[in-house]
Chain A
Amino acid sequence: GEDVEQSLFLSVREGDSSVINCTYTDSSSTYLYWYKQEPGAGLQLLTYIFSNMDMKQDQRLTVLLNKKDKHLSLRIADTQTGDSAIYFCAEKVNNNDMRFGAGTRLTVKP
C-alpha cells in the first residue's frame, strides 16, 4: 500500500518496555525515522536508521529494521510518564520527501 502504517494507540505501565511498530511502503527507502510529538509541540526527531543497518541503540531507545518485511520498530526501555506522546514513523522517499505514518499515541500509566 501507499501508506506508512502504525497502530494508533499503545498503553503501558511505568517501568515496562514499550514497542511501537511501523510498516513502511518503499523497500528502497534509504533512511527511516522516529519522531516524537508532545502536546502542543511540533515533531522532534528521536532517532533514525540507515537502511543497511538492522539495529540501532541509543540509550533507552532501540530501533529494529526488517527490510524484507518493510517493518520498523521502536523499543523504549524503562518507559517513563514523560515518554507519553505521539510517535511517528517516517521514511525518506527521495531527496525532499518524507512519508509519515498517522502516529501512535503512547500512554504511560503510573
Chain B
Amino acid sequence: ETGVTQTPRHLVMGMTNKKSLKCEQHLGHNAMYWYKQSAKKPLELMFVYSLEERVENNSVPSRFSPECPNSSHLFLHLHTLQPEDSALYLCASSRTGTSGGEQFFGPGTRLTVL
C-alpha cells in the first residue's frame, strides 16, 4: 500500500460512454498527477495539479478532463474515447519543494475502450 488509491481498478467502456476515474491520496501531499501507461512506451504524463491548480497539460485531447476538488482527490473524466485510449491510467502524488520530491503511485485503472 502506497497511500494512493484508485477506483475502479478495471473499466470497460464504449466509445459513446462517459465515465470517471478517481484517485485519492492519504499522504498529505500537495501535488497530484495523471499518467497513461501503454505497452512498451514510456509513461506519459497527462496532467499535473499543484496546490489544486493545474500546472501542466501535456497536449492531452479534450476527451480527457481532469478535476482536482481538493489536495487529496483527483478525477479524470472520460467521454467519447477511442480504442487507442485503452491503457493503464496511473495516479501519483508528491510533496513539492521537498528534497526528493518522489512520486508515490496508485495501483492504476486498466481501461479498455471498445
Contacts and interface: CB of A to CB of B under 8 A. Distances in A.
A44 interface: yes
Contacts of B106: 42
B66 interface: no
Contacts, number: 58
Interface residues of A, number: 25
A40 B42 CA distance: 17
B102 A42 contact: no
A8 to B, nearest CB: 6
A92 B42 contact: no
* Top 10 A-B residue pairs of the complex, sorted by shortest distance between their CB atoms: A42-B105, A100-B43, A43-B105, A42-B107, A102-B42, A96-B48, A42-B106, A42-B108, A100-B42, A41-B107
Interface of B: 2, 4, 6, 31, 33, 40-43, 45, 48, 50, 55-56, 90, 92, 94, 96-97, 99-108
Interface in A21-36: 31, 33, 35
A94 to B, nearest CB: 10
A95 B40 contact: no
